[in-house]
């Protein structure tokens, strides 16, 4: 009986807190600069100013400027947009090293260990810097 209650608790916790930010005195946000932390928070909360966000807030086109008839969301930019094919080697390299399939959940901090989440956050932020979308407005 206790087991069921514990697993329900775990499920709830995962539902409300999908990212692992704190572990053994290490914190993802305090391991990043304030600017990096702000950008990571925007990416996680889907407020980073991509097409789908601009469409919702400003009524602008949600479409990618680089692709035909494709909505520009985070997943498109990070994993799919052919315009950025040359910039993903560090992201995919990290997943190959960890031997797990790439996903947005993991890219944004879904690994079970905080050091991994810090490392992938830095890689992700470098990717945005490399593609010229610094997201630090």
Q: Please report, as ranges, the residues that interact with Zn ion according to CB under 5 A.
A: 64, 66-67, 81
* 35/32 Cα distance (integer angstroms): 8
In the complex, least distance from residue 60 CB atom to Zn ion, rounded to whole angstroms: 16
Q: Considering beta carbons, is residue 39 or 77 the nearer one to Zn ion?
A: 77
* 86/82 Cα distance (integer angstroms): 8
In the complex, least distance from residue 66 CB atom to Zn ion, rounded to whole angstroms: 4
Rg (CA), the chain: 17
Q: Considering beta carbons, is residue 7 or 66 the nearer one to Zn ion?
A: 66
Q: Considering beta carbons, is residue 67 or 123 the nearer one to Zn ion?
A: 67
**Could you tell me the two tokens for 10?**
């775990």
In the complex, least distance from residue 38 CB atom to Zn ion, rounded to whole angstroms: 25
In the complex, least distance from residue 56 CB atom to Zn ion, rounded to whole angstroms: 18
Q: Considering beta carbons, is residue 50 or 111 the nearer one to Zn ion?
A: 50
* Residue whose C-alpha is closest to residue 18's, from 46, 38, 54, 39: 46
What are the backbone dihedrals phi and psi of residue 27, each rounded to the nearest 5 degrees, phi first?
-125, 135
């Amino acid at each position: 009986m206790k087991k069921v209650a514990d697993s329900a608790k775990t499920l709830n916790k995962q539902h409300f807190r999908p990212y692992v930010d704190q572990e053994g005195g290490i914190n993802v946000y305090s391991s990043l600069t304030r600017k990096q932390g702000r950008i990571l928070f925007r990416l996680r909360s889907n407020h980073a100013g991509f097409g789908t966000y601009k469409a919702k807030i400003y009524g602008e086109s949600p479409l990618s400027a680089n692709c035909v008839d494709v909505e520009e969301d985070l997943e498109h930019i990070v994993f799919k947009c052919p315009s950025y094919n040359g910039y993903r080697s560090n992201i995919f390299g990290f997943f190959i090293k960890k031997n797990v399939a790439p996903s947005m959940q993991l890219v944004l901090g879904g690994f079970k260990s905080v050091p991994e989440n810090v490392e992938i956050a830095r890689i992700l932020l470098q990717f945005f810097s490399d593609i010229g979308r610094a997201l630090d407005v």
